[in-house]
């Protein structure tokens, strides 16, 4: 059996954890300042604008970070094929970015009720440009995440002095939205230099048929991610619709802490994904062993975060957000329950369902949970405010987890992954004897 945990994989895991650790610490360095400078209501407005741009990002990414990473991992020794994949993905992302950002900016400019959001959304759209040139899907496909982590960490560090220098009052909300885009552009410029030095991509090529192929290949992954956003970012929009900017700000404060807390465990699955994709067709037993380790690490980290948050949420919110955000503590306690389900379901879907050709089933599971979330969140947000919106996300994550493992059980895959490794070895030996 191929070695599961070798030096390259360990470096990738540690790199991602270090990067996400930095992504956790650096925003926390500015979050107390932003919360006190902007106030609860303007934090709510900022959250609404960022949610709009996130939808543009979801569409422009189109699942390439999953499917293209898998494709490059399979063909990374074939430069002509990698070149074709690279440029067709880049061109598709560029096209989607222009269409989506243009549509959102036009909608906010011509809608009087949303006109105030136009400049904040325009400022944050720089993050879309940075994402276009980040090429994380290429670096991850080659398992070259060490440099990517260092570059992104440097970019995140730059956000700290920029925030303190530029954001001085609630009127600077648009600058708070611009800073993530600026640091993303800095990181992407450095990443582009490393991509050129890797010499794995040939000259620019424009092939409409290949672009269309990229879009059709990744559509199932895109719909799954879009479905997840129906119980992630859409809750901010629903909360803003049924409540107030103040309640949206309380939700946003807890949501930012949730994302920071989850930044480490959610990256374990991302680090294992290209290795599992590479091993699956070569040594399935090694791929299964890698997936087991990935899910175990994710769950243990998630459980630790949930326990810590239950006891110390009030102190964390008071220190990081300030006394005005104290209602966010109970919202945060509910939010982190998502980790127990999402940090198992998401890597299981990536590392098990997709390699087994069940990406469409995964797509329908996540989309279904997202659709169900909309009426649930609408009712809970209207009746209970921010904490109701948080509970609707927990319900949605639970439905996804149940759905993913139901698919595995229905197709006879679950037993294979639950079976003890030594039993799997014995069974394969017996099958080999019988075949002879």
* Within-domain flag for 148: yes
Residue 46: closest CA among 238, 177, 182, 241: 177
- Is the confidence at residue 225, as pLDDT, over 70? yes
One-character DSSP codes across 278-330: HHHTT-HHHHHHHHHHHHHHHHHHHHHHHHHHHHHHHHHHHHHT-GGGTTHHH
* Within-domain flag for 1: no
Model pLDDT for residues 358-406, shown as the tens digit of each residue: 888 988 898 899 889 999 999 999 999 999 999 999 999 999 999 999 9
Helix (H) or strand (E) holding 413: none
Residue 214: closest CA among 77, 97, 61: 61
Instruction: Say what the pLDDT of residue 427 is.
Output: 46
Instruction: Say what the pLDDT of residue 111 is.
Output: 82
Instruction: Say what the pLDDT of residue 198 is.
Output: 83
Domains in the chain, number: 1
Position 25 confidence tier, pLDDT thresholds 50, 70, 90: low
* Within-domain flag for 431: no
* Residues 133 and 95 sit within 8 Å (Cβ to Cβ): no
Instruction: Say what the pLDDT of residue 105 is.
Output: 92
Model pLDDT for residues 180-209, shown as the tens digit of each residue: 888 888 888 888 888 888 888 888 888 898
The pLDDT of 69-95, averaged and rounded, is 87
3-class DSSP state of 145: helix
The pLDDT of 149-170, averaged and rounded, is 84
Q: How many CB atoms lie within 10 A of CB 3?
A: 12
- Is the confidence at residue 424, as pLDDT, over 60? no
* Within-domain flag for 2: no
Range of the domain at 118: 7-426
* Residues 333 and 313 sit within 8 Å (Cβ to Cβ): yes
* Within-domain flag for 55: yes
* Within-domain flag for 378: yes
Model pLDDT for residues 36-75, shown as the tens digit of each residue: 999 988 988 888 888 888 888 888 888 787 778 878 887 8
DSSP type of residue 115: G
Instruction: Say what the pLDDT of residue 430 is.
Output: 44
> How many CA atoms within 13 Å lie on the side-chain side of 262?
21
Position 21 confidence tier, pLDDT thresholds 50, 70, 90: low
* Within-domain flag for 405: yes
Model pLDDT for residues 90-133, shown as the tens digit of each residue: 999 999 999 999 999 998 898 887 777 899 999 999 999 988 88
Instruction: Say what the pLDDT of residue 19 is.
Output: 61
Tokens of 358: 């069940």
Mean pLDDT of the chain: 83
- Start-to-end C-alpha separation, the chain: 20
> Best-predicted range by mean pLDDT among 72-81, 131-140, 299-308?
299-308
Instruction: Say what the pLDDT of residue 268 is.
Output: 73
* Within-domain flag for 436: no
């Amino acid at each position: 059996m191929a070695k599961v945990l070798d030096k390259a994989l360990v470096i990738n895991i540690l790199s991602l954890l270090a990067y996400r650790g930095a992504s956790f610490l650096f925003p926390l360095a500015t979050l107390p300042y932003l919360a006190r400078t902007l106030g609860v209501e303007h934090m709510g407005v900022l959250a609404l604008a960022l949610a709009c741009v996130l939808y543009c990002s979801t569409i422009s990414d189109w699942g390439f970070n999953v499917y293209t990473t898998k494709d490059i991992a399979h063909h990374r020794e074939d430069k002509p094929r990698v070149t074709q994949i690279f440029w067709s993905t880049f061109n598709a992302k560029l096209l989607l970015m222009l269409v989506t950002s243009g549509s959102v900016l036009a909608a906010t400019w011509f809608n009087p009720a949303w006109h105030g959001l136009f400049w904040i959304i325009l400022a944050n759209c720089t993050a879309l440009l940075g994402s276009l040139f980040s090429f994380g899907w290429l670096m991850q496909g080659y398992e070259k995440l060490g440099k990517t982590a260092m570059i992104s960490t440097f970019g995140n560090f730059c956000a700290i002095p920029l925030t303190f220098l530029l954001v001085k009052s609630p009127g600077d909300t648009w600058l708070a939205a611009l800073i993530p885009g600026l640091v993303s552009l800095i990181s992407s410029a450095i990443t582009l230099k490393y991509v050129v030095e890797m010499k794995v991509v040939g000259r620019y090529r424009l092939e409409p048929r290949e672009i269309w192929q990229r879009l059709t290949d990744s559509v199932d992954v895109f719909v799954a991610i879009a479905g997840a956003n129906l119980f992630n970012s859409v809750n901010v929009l629903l909360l803003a619709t049924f409540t107030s900017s103040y309640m949206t700000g309380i939700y946003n404060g807890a949501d930012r802490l949730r994302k920071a807390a989850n930044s480490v465990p959610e990256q374990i699955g991302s680090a294992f994904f290209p290795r599992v994709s590479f091993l699956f067709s070569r040594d399935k037993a090694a791929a299964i062993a890698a997936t087991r380790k990935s899910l175990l690490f994710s769950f243990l980290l998630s459980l630790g975060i949930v326990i810590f948050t239950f006891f110390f949420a009030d102190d964390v919110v008071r220190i990081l957000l300030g006394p005005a955000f104290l209602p966010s503590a109970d919202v945060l306690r509910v939010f982190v329950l998502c980790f127990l389900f999402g940090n198992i379901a998401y890597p299981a879907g990536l590392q098990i369902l997709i390699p087994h050709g069940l990406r469409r089933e995964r797509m329908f599971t996540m989309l279904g949970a997202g659709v169900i979330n909309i009426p649930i969140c609408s009712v809970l947000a209207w009746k209970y405010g921010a904490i109701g919106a948080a509970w609707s996300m927990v319900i949605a994550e639970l439905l996804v987890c149940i759905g993913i493992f139901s698919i595995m059980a229905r197709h006879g895959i679950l037993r294979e992954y639950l079976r003890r490794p030594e039993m799997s070895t014995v069974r394969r030996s017996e099958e080999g004897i019988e075949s002879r």
